[in-house]
Amino acid sequence: MLTEFFEPPLRIQELRAGPDGRLLEGFAQELCQAGYAEITARRHIRAAEHLIYWMGRNGRMIAGLDERAIEEFVHHLNRCRCPRYGRTHRRDLRRGARLFLRYARFADIVTTRVVEEIIVAPALLVSFCNWMRQQRGTCDATLYGYSFPFVIC
């Protein structure tokens, strides 16, 4: 599937021959099936390639990839001097790395669990939502819109 996003045969061979070329191939297939545009998918694949390189350079295995590793990778980008990895916007690299983590979990390559953040709604927001339901008959979808930055009431 890398052929869907990259034209030069040398570049495709380079990606496939890398430390985890089969992962990049599977990731590219997933992006293709999800309907990503060529330029966007290429950015995500490059982010995954950079992440794999960085993890290998630091003696880490892909199987141990998790959210903390992604954040450390993003922090690394502030002072990145990795050869062959240009100055791509950190937001794009973070997004691509997270997509790669999601793919690796789905493909059972990564053994780390998803850490779910528990968000507790502020007491005032909960009271407001209850009042709106009781006094105004407001539906949950509307209340969700009101409380989006926080949580679902």
Burial of 104 (0-12, 13-18, 19+ CB in 10 A): buried
State whether 147 and 73 are in the same domain.
Answer: no
State whether 86 and 130 are in the same domain.
Answer: no
Cα separations in angstroms, 42 against 3, 31, 67, 92, 108: 11, 9, 22, 11, 23
**Number of domains comprising the chain:** 2
For residue 131, tell me if it sits in a domain.
Answer: yes
Instruction: Give the model confidence (pLDDT) of 92-145 as tens digits.
Output: 888 999 999 999 988 888 877 665 555 667 788 888 888 988 999 887 777 777
pTM of the model as a whole: 0.69
In terms of residue numbers, what domain contains 144? 118-153
What gap in Å lies between CA 112 and CA 101, rounded to an integer? 10
Mean pLDDT of 24-44: 90
State whether 31 and 52 are in the same domain.
Answer: yes
Write down the number of H helices and E strands in the chain.
8, 0
